[in-house]
Structure 1
């Protein structure tokens, strides 16, 4: 049951989220008005206004006599960083797990000497800030370390994806942590990850990346 002030906007946001996540795919027909009314517990007028909002934004197409369909091409006006803010926390965790695994694995295979210099500096700074209790700066150092791992993967698309994801990850850290205790506790895990990347051991890099996410 939706309990927001602007029901049409909230419903349109929910539907847009389902489209973004692929629960309703491009070209597929949207559920009927009665189905949406029952699913979300809203009135027919709310459904129609939500459909109008999505149609004006280019997310869906209303075809007379046939129904309402998801547009074959999604609007390109929404940045990935904005889309990430709309996803469920569990989905964000799943994306983080996949990204951390892959960038660690690829970095172990493709890292350069200059990549290692950056990562060592990031990790040393992370340790210093964590023990000094400098919370905000420690978060930045942690994210820099992981971003440099992504850049060391040798895959520009993967690096760009991680950079976009890192913005949302920082917001998550700011909401989750109030001090640097967790960063102190996971310092050794990060050092093990870096060691695996240095040794070009992709399997161990994957393992330590998993340990970090699961901590």
Structure 2
């Protein structure tokens, strides 16, 4: 019989808090119970509770707010770690990762898209165009990332969509102040529309080609991706 591993009180308390977050009992944006309530419900000391909370703060799942308690800011520590790493990655490294993800996402999206999903893709592109016309660069970047994330979601592959979601913050930082926005407002060729048309038409090869062209050409000369 396999021995049951022993856990310290702090580890056990940390795991209990993590389970509450993972189960959705404490969703993102939710303030966790006050320290006294946690002490009572867990049956541990104040020191143990503080150590458990501190561990989850360090993992990126919780965030203390001065005078307002501690809030849930993420549900998955692995995803938090990946996002932190991506924010320090180079443009070229992110582009290399996106070449793999975008081609797969585009091909699958062309195979699996539904009419409702096509409508959503169209809406993200329209929002992007409207932001560009209004010279609203931040809104443009938000809509641009939303389009790419939507393509990943249309692929029907949940793992791919989650990986792409982790890239979204780094992508938004790349887009702000970059060539993708300037190319759009000066009327230069925009590969996003071509990708949408290929997905809409169910053309797997054209979708993959458009996805690669978008990454390789949208920010030529600056290393930027769009």
TM-score bin, normalised by smaller chain = 0.5 to 0.7
User: How far is 1:132 from its partner?
Assistant: 1.9
Matched, 1:156 2:191: no
The Cα offsets for residues 111-137 of structure 1, whole Å up to 9 and x where unpaired, read as 111110100111111112112211110
Once residues 196 and 118 of structure 2 are traced to their aligned partners in structure 1, the CA distance between those partners, rounded to angstroms, is: 8
Moved over 6 A (4+): none
CA shift digits 1:146-194 (9 cap, x unpaired)? 11111000000000000101111111122535x8322344664211111
Structure 2: distance between partners of 1:204 and 1:80: 31
TM normalised by structure 2 equals 0.57
Q: Per-residue displacement from partner, 1:13-61 (whole Å, max 9, x unpaired)?
A: xxxxxxxxxxxxxxxxxxxxxxxxxxxxxxxxxxxxxxxxxxxxxxxxx
Per the alignment, residue 11 of structure 1 pairs with none
Q: 1:93, CA displacement in angstroms?
A: 1.6
Shift of 1:87: 2.9
Superposition pairs of residues 52-63 of structure 1, within 5 angstroms: none
Matched residue SS, 1:79: helix
Q: CA RMSD in A?
A: 2.3
Cα distance in 2 for partners of 1:213, 1:76 equals 26
Q: Is the 8 A contact 2:184 2:190 kept in 1?
A: no
The equivalent of 1:79 in structure 2 is: 81
Match in the other structure for 2:172: 170
Match of 1:202 among 201, 204, 217: 204
Correspondence 1:94-105 to 2 at 5 A: 94-105=96-107
Quote the residue 1:145 is aligned against.
147
Q: Which residue of 2 aligns with 1:183?
A: 184
Q: How many residues align?
A: 141
Q: Which runs of 5+ in 1 are unaligned?
A: 1-74
In 1: Cα distance, 2:145 partner to 2:90 partner = 21
Q: Per the alignment, in what secondary structure is the counterpart of residue 156 of structure 2?
A: coil
Q: Unaligned stretches of 5+ in structure 2?
A: 1-76, 218-226
Pairing 1:130–2:114 present: no
Measured after TM superposition, the shift of residue 78 of structure 1 is 5.7
8 Å contact from structure 2 (residues 86, 170) kept in 1: yes
Using structure 1 for the length normalisation, give the TM-score: 0.60
**What do the CA deviations read for 1:76-99 (whole angstroms, capped 9, x no partner)?**
596210121233432222012111
